[in-house]
């Protein structure tokens, strides 16, 4: 299928080369005045440039400036700018929902993004005004010399006396944290939003948890150094360790399997909305999805994308169809209004002791 991508028009500098300008945290007005500004994550920038940005620019002639930063920092910046300043925002689902609630994002026009009709259903769910372009699976990262997969998949591992002091869990402030809370809520309570049961269960496990981590480095170091035997973590945490041949594996939970998505959003004040739609369409294409999976490590949402062996070595067949494998996404309408209360309660009822 050919890409419905706009060729360079009058808003672009005449004779512009197919170039990409990378910025650390912000882009200058001179650089971005006639370029498509894509706001994205601060990690994997060079890989994303090679996988998606360079090929997009080569195909369309549209210059791209990357503006990088954390989810919260970039959303705050967007809010201060009233939605202007960026043309495409690549952001995790919770922050996408927060931005929608503040009226910062417009509905992505399906007529301008033909690949929307081809991607997985969960990637175009109605709760968001922009599609998912990748997703993250929650599960258990574990030492294969210490645990069997079945034991690692059982949530009760984290409350087991046999492994007390040798497990780690995410803080609710990180992506895996919310997925963990909902997984525990479903397994032991009335569903993914049963916060009372989740916090009561996690609070009971807390004395045996060595650390409630807030970064990838923290948890992988603990595992590599033998300080823990397992941690609730996103599947991407395991990729490098498994590829390096370390005695590490990752498994989905036996119940309460949830995933997060990264969304491609277009701000209401986007100066180059037409080019923004072209970029989103390219991002969702099988070619870009395959390259992003290979170079960035993103799990693809297009069924025709090729998933590299580095990813299948960790998640197996789950990447073919995470919904069929038992994974579900969380409803932003349930999370956004309660987020502040849940974070405060988690600190008080789970990690305070």
The fraction of the chain above a pLDDT of 70, given in percent, is 90
Tokens found for residue 244: 């390096």
Specify the pLDDT at position 82: 77
Decide: 73 and 81 in contact? Cβ < 8 Å. no
DSSP 11-34: TSPTT--S-EEE-SS---HHHHTT
Distance spanning both ends of the chain, measured CA to CA: 56
Measured in whole angstroms, the distance separating CA 118 from the mean position of its chain's CA atoms is 20
Report the distance separating Cα 229 and Cα 284, nearest Å: 37
What does the angle CA 99 – CA 105 – CA 108 come to, to the nearest 5 degrees? 135
Fold agreement (20-134+262-317, 136-259+325-351) = yes
Structure tokens, 1: 């299928």
CA distances from 254 to 138, 193, 258, 273, 312 (A): 11, 18, 11, 43, 19
- Class of the CATH-defined domain 136-259+325-351: alpha beta
* Residue recorded with tokens 């709760």: 127
Note the pLDDT tens digit of each residue in 286-303: 999 999 999 999 999 999
23: left (phi over 0), alpha (psi -120 to 50) or beta: beta
pLDDT, position 33: 64
pLDDT tens digits for 33-44?
689 999 999 999
- pLDDT beneath 50: ranges in the chain: 1-29, 31-32
d(CA 114, CA 124): 13
Report the distance separating Cα 5 and Cα 114, nearest Å. 10
CATH fold label, 20-134+262-317: D-Maltodextrin-Binding Protein; domain 2 (3.40.190)
Query: Domain boundaries in the chain?
Result: 20-134+262-317, 136-259+325-351
């Amino acid at each position: 299928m050919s890409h419905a991508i706009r060729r360079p028009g009058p808003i672009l500098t005449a004779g512009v080369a197919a170039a990409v300008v990378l910025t650390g945290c912000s882009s200058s007005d001179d650089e971005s005045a006639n370029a498509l500004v894509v706001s994205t994550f601060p990690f994997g920038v060079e890989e994303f440039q090679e996988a998606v940005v360079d090929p997009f620019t080569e195909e369309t002639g549209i210059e791209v400036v990357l503006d990088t930063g954390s989810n919260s920092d970039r959303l705050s910046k967007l809010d201060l700018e009233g939605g202007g300043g960026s043309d495409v925002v690549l952001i995790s689902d919770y922050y996408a929902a927060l931005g929608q609630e503040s009226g910062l994002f417009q509905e992505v026009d399906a007529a301008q993004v033909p690949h929307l009709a081809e991607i997985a259903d969960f990637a175009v769910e109605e709760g968001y005004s922009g599609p998912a372009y990748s997703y993250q699976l929650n599960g258990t990262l574990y030492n294969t010399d210490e645990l069997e997969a079945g034991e690692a998949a059982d949530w009760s591992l984290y409350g087991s006396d046999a492994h007390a002091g040798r497990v780690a869990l995410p803080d609710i402030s990180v992506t895996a944290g919310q997925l963990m809370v909902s997984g525990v809520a479903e397994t032991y309570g009335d569903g993914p939003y049963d916060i009372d049961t989740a916090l009561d269960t996690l609070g009971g496990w807390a004395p045996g948890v060595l650390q409630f981590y807030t970064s990838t480095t923290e948890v992988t170091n603990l595992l590599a150094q033998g300080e823990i035997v397992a941690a609730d973590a996103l599947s991407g945490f395991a990729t490098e360790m498994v590829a390096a041949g370390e005695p590490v594996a990752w498994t989905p939970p036996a119940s309460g399997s949830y995933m997060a998505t990264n969304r491609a959003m277009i701000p209401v004040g986007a100066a180059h909305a037409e080019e923004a739609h072209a970029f989103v369409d390219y991002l969702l294409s099988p070619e870009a999805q395959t390259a992003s999976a290979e170079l960035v490590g993103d799990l693809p949402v297009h069924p025709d994308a090729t998933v590299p062996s580095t990813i299948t070595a960790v998640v197996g067949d789950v990447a073919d169809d995470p919904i069929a494998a038992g994974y579900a996404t969380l409803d932003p309408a349930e999370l956004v209004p309660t987020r502040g209360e849940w974070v405060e309660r988690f600190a008080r009822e789970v990690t305070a002791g």
